[in-house]
Amino acid sequence: MRVRTLCYGIIAVVLSAILCRCAHIGTITGGSKDTAPPQILSQHPENYSTRFHDKEIKITFDEFVELVNPESNFMISPPLEENPQYTLKGKTLIIDLKECHLDSNTTYIILCNQAIKDYTEGNLLPDKNIVFSTGDYIDSMCLCGTVKDAFTLQPVKGAYVILHTEDQDSALCTLIPKYICKTNAKGQFMFVNIADRPYYISALTDKNQNLKYDQSDEQTAFQTQAVIPYLMPAKPTNDTLLKDTILTDSLTLDSTALDSNSLTVETIVLDSCHLLMFTQADTAVKFIKKELLNLYHFQLIFRNQAEDFNLRQISSLDTMLRFQTETVPTQDTIHLFFEDTISETFEFQIEINGMPTDTIELNPAQKPAASRLAKKGGNDKKYVSVGIHQQGTLFHHLILKFGYPVLSWQEQQMKMVVPKDTVKDTIEIACHFIDSLHRYLEIDFDFEQEKTTYTLLCPDSVFHTAYGWDNDSICIAVNTAAAKEFGDLNLYYNFYASKPYIVELLNEKYQVIQSDTITYNEKISYLHLLPGKYTARVIIDENGNGKWDSGKYVERIQPEEVIYYPGWIEAKANWTIEETFDVVTDDKE
């Protein structure tokens, strides 16, 4: 009896301990976040199959996946008239080739560029090539390089790079490509498993997805000489050499062929395939629209430069209107000021280079939605607007901009308040208009004193317009900095040949600070720079027209070459920097 009682006691203690353990309060976690991409469990037929005659390819993953923009993220090369269909069934991707005509003895590559991700976390499958051949062997040549913008030299992402076998000037416009691929974020491209023969290479931003250069706003690039592919590199005896090293002849290789999915642009020798992409200049001048900026003030906007612009009245010729025009520096916009203020619609003929292009209707007295004319106090008198076009500084004159052309003005009415020690001196100053319409007024005064506040004063009704509007009183403060707050840069340009060169100093936003034209080695001093980083750009101005010219694909004209200073130059306050820019051009290399 005692033994039985002891056994019951032991059992009770054990059960109590188990129950207490089970009742312990804890936190349920979902485990660590899944960051692994989908894994391929099987593929049928296997990758790199030869004598391929199947009608579909099945790839099974270790988890459920979904497609990401299959129309653009899957590509097959060589291109087909009918693209494969990509569908999912469970964890299996089915590539349907039933409607596709495959050429005999041809190696095909289906490029899967971030087209598949797992269903739960959205982890993308790394870029994958699906390779098969309808013949007895897999082609084993490759070709790679870079695509950059011809002017900025920045990499172009997502551009189609195209290989043709035909040497035709219009191949990119009319022919189906032999092979295609796309550039990555670094502007790099790579063809793998292509046939051993010369190719003609080009690049395209294909806006209508037809693999042809047939729209004026599409960018393109090309090389005039044929390119020769090279054998896909064999596997190095030390696999770690492949990771970050560009293969060279000095590496020891064995005969084991590399899977193209393990190749990157960095693992292949980058040779002559460097393409510069441009938008072909459209020189046709087209009138786009008219805009009413203010009362009696219209703006005519054109596509491209409206050179030798003329506006000819063709209606109501018994009332000939007077007007003035002003062309902006880019020559694609015309400002039109009517001197006659008749509220009636007139028809005009636009002429460019002596040729009529469009007709427009204008009402000189059409009222804008919101007038920009200032009103002073309690009277109804209108004043022409006056603003600052160029801020006056220690080293620059002040330039004012009037909203309307000035018809006349009173001399010696402008005054400058100049601090001198503990007093202020008010002196008369001269000024002059720097444009033919008299809208831009330069104040002829040098702000010579450092860390000083000058004040420009002008009474009202000094400047008169044709509309009876004068200026309101003007009071503008000009603050000068200390000279030591600026820096100077002496940049020596060294060339290897005498040509027309456009040299430009750029700030960190790549805005042009100063532009000069030179023909050979020269030192240019950039004075009074704000502290900051600067770089330089050289344009090889082959035709000497003072601007960068884009290329022409059909005429096989490359864009003018642009070279950037390799890095940044930091201008420091109260310092003079000396730097040299050795300009190496393509013909020198």
- For residue 444, give the CATH number of its domain: 2.60.40.3710
How far is the CA of 66 from the CAs of 38, 117, 417, in angstroms?
10, 6, 73
**Same domain membership, residue 242 and residue 145:** yes
State whether 535 and 417 are in the same domain. no
**pLDDT for the residue numbered 256:** 35
Q: Give me the DSSP letters along 483-526.
A: GGG-EEEEEEEE-SS---EEEEEE-TT--EEEEEEESSSEEEEE
Say whether both 268 and 152 belong to one domain: yes
In total, the chain counts a number of residues equal to 589
> Is 116 inside a domain boundary?
yes
175/269 same-domain check: yes
Query: How confident is the prediction along the chain (589 residues), in pLDDT tens digits per residue?
Result: 444 544 455 555 444 554 444 444 444 555 567 788 889 999 999 999 999 999 999 999 999 999 988 888 898 999 998 889 999 998 999 999 998 999 999 999 999 888 898 888 888 888 889 999 999 999 999 999 999 999 999 999 999 999 999 888 888 888 889 999 999 999 999 999 999 999 999 999 988 878 888 887 889 999 999 999 998 876 443 333 333 333 333 222 233 344 566 555 555 544 568 999 999 887 788 999 999 999 999 999 998 888 889 999 999 999 999 999 999 988 899 999 999 889 999 999 999 988 899 999 999 999 887 655 555 544 556 899 999 999 999 889 999 999 999 999 998 899 999 988 778 899 999 999 999 999 999 999 999 999 999 999 999 999 999 898 999 999 999 999 999 999 999 999 999 999 999 999 999 999 999 999 999 999 999 999 999 999 999 999 999 999 999 999 988 999 999 999 999 999 999 999 999 999 988 764 4
Whole-number Cα distances in Å, 355 to 282, 285, 309 = 18, 11, 10
| Predicted pLDDT at 501 | 97
DSSP SS3 for 22 = helix
**CATH code, domain with 578:** 2.60.40
How confident is the model at residue 258, as a pLDDT? 47
- Three-state SS at 57: strand
Q: Are 280 and 216 in contact (CB under 8 A)?
A: yes
Contact between 139 and 195 under an 8 Å Cβ cutoff? The reply is yes
213 in a structural domain? yes
pLDDT tens track for 542-569: 999 999 999 999 889 999 999 999 999 9
Residue 29 falls within a domain, yes or no? no
Assigned domain for 301 exists = yes
Could you give the CA distance from residue 146 to residue 156 in angstroms, rounded to a whole number?
Answer: 9
What was the pLDDT predicted at 257?
43
SS3 content of the chain, % helix, strand, coil (to 5): 5, 45, 50
Q: Do 274 and 207 belong to one domain?
A: yes
Given a contact cutoff of 8 angstroms between Cβ atoms, the answer to whether 551 and 213 are in contact is: no
Domain boundary, last residue among 279, 314, 343: 279
Q: What is the CATH number of the domain that holds 75?
A: 2.60.40.1220
**Nearest Cα residue to 358 out of 402, 306, 423, 407:** 306
Task: Give how many domains the chain has, as a whole number.
Answer: 5
Residue 80 in tokens? 């087909």
**Of 362, 387, 414, the domain-final residue:** 362
Q: Give the residue from 164, 242, 240 showing the smallest Cα distance to 203.
A: 164
User: For residue 203, what are the domain limits?
Assistant: 141-279
Residue 535 inside a domain? The answer is yes
Answer yes or no: do 445 and 563 share one domain. Answer: no
Classify residue 12: in a domain, yes or no: no
Residues 185 and 273 in one domain: yes
- β-pair type (576-582, 453-458): unpaired
- Inside any domain, residue 16: no
Residue 241 sits in the same domain as residue 342: no
156 and 275 both lie in a single domain: yes
Q: What is the reported pLDDT for 178? A: 93
- For 33, phi then psi, to 5°, come to -70, 140
The pLDDT of residue 368 is: 84
CATH number of residue 253's parent domain: 2.60.40.10
Three-state DSSP class for residue 372: coil
Where is the domain boundary, 481, 504, 524?
481
| Per-residue pLDDT at 252 | 29
Shared-domain flag, residues 265 and 179: yes
Residues 477 and 384 in one domain: yes
- The pLDDT tens digits of the residues spanning 418-475 come to 988 778 899 999 999 999 999 999 999 999 999 999 999 999 999 999 898 999 999 9
Let me know whether 265 and 156 are in one domain: yes
Distance CA 338, CA 467 (A): 10
Determine the Cα–Cα distance for residues 121 and 32; give it in Å rounded to an integer: 12
Classify 353 as helix, strand or coil: coil
